[in-house]
Amino acid sequence: MHPQDSAIPNIMTDLERAVRIALDEDVGSGDITAQLIPAERIAHAHVITRESCTISGRAWVDEVFRQLDPNLQVRWHFEDGDTAEADSILFELEGNARAILTGERAALNFLQTLSGTATTAAEFAARAAGTEVKILDTRKTIPGLRSAQKYAVLCGGCHNHRIGLYDAFLIKENHIAAAGSIDKAVAQARNIKADALVEVEVETIEELQQALNSGVDVIMLDEFNDADTRIALSLAKGKAKIEISGSVDRDRIQQLAALDVDYISSGSLTKHLRAIDLSLRINL
């Protein structure tokens, strides 16, 4: 998979900017330690993973080394979305030794973070295997890496919720209170952007019925128990999609998926990730 193949808007622009910022904060006025190595020295290096993981972030790694030295060669052994076992060589580098060492940390930071996200997503997706439910991410992402992490979620086999505040409506308690009612909030949303998806979060069966009457596309059930969820599914059938959110971790996915809801969203996909342990080894 490649970022360009995703439906995430502006991802390539975001990628280039994120890499530029990462290099600026790390390299600053110049890598003084790399200057210990002769400027003309050519080296070979490879990166291994110390643990099994789902790969994501190739394009970010490539961009790090492209910005530092376009002549440096990166040879990948895995595609994004592939599973790599512990001690696998993920990619090799050939070129200027200073450029390799200067870009090492920024490149591995992107790869360990995005592969960590993809690995978590793969674990969630596995819990819902054999069902029709789609596991969705949220906006609880690392600042500046929204599109990157949402891409990594796709690499892990899960799906994207809205990308930001601009591409879909998610009407919650405070929005409803400000608008006056669920019906009024939904009507205003349709007037503001008629082609955008409209989702409403509800806390009771009564609110669910109000949302259905207003013609929403998706209803998010906030902390519903299993019995009320089944009632909600029965009432919404053929009228709106049902999403479960709130206190969803990987241990609850299988139980929730068995209820036959349409979507399960979890901030854990992006905010509770654990970076993958990677290591670069260089031959000068």
Residue by residue, DSSP assigns 60-96 as HHHHHHHHH-TT-EEEESS-TT-EE-TT-EEEEEEEE
Question: Rounded to an integer, what distance in angstroms lies between the CA atom of residue 211 and that of residue 182?
Answer: 6
Question: Rounded to an integer, what distance in angstroms lies between the CA atom of residue 52 and that of residue 123?
Answer: 12
Question: Rounded to an integer, what distance in angstroms lies between the CA atom of residue 107 and that of residue 209?
Answer: 50
Q: Verify whether residue 127 is a known catalytic residue.
A: no
Q: Write the CA distances from 37 to 24, 26, 41, 99, 272, integer angstroms.
A: 21, 18, 7, 11, 39
> Are 90 and 114 contacting, i.e. CB atoms less than 8 angstroms apart?
no
- Among the listed residues 66, 140, 230, 239, the single catalytic one is 140
> Are 57 and 80 contacting, i.e. CB atoms less than 8 angstroms apart?
yes
Q: Write the CA distances from 44 to 38, 55, 72, 74, 278, integer angstroms.
A: 15, 22, 10, 10, 17
Q: Verify whether residue 193 is a known catalytic residue.
A: no
Say if strands 134-136 and 168-171 run parallel, antiparallel, or are unpaired: unpaired
Q: Verify whether residue 172 is a known catalytic residue.
A: yes
Query: What residues form DSSP beta bridges with 220?
Result: 201, 243
Q: Verify whether residue 237 is a known catalytic residue.
A: no
- Among the listed residues 66, 92, 123, 172, the single catalytic one is 172
- Among the listed residues 105, 230, 239, 252, the single catalytic one is 105
In the numeric block, which tokens belong to residue 190?
Answer: 């349709």
In the numeric block, which tokens belong to residue 53?
Answer: 């993981």
Question: Rounded to an integer, what distance in angstroms lies between the CA atom of residue 31 and that of residue 267?
Answer: 37
Q: Verify whether residue 222 is a known catalytic residue.
A: yes
> Are 235 and 219 contacting, i.e. CB atoms less than 8 angstroms apart?
no
- Among the listed residues 222, 228, 262, 277, the single catalytic one is 222
* Active site (catalytic) residues: 105, 140, 172, 201, 222
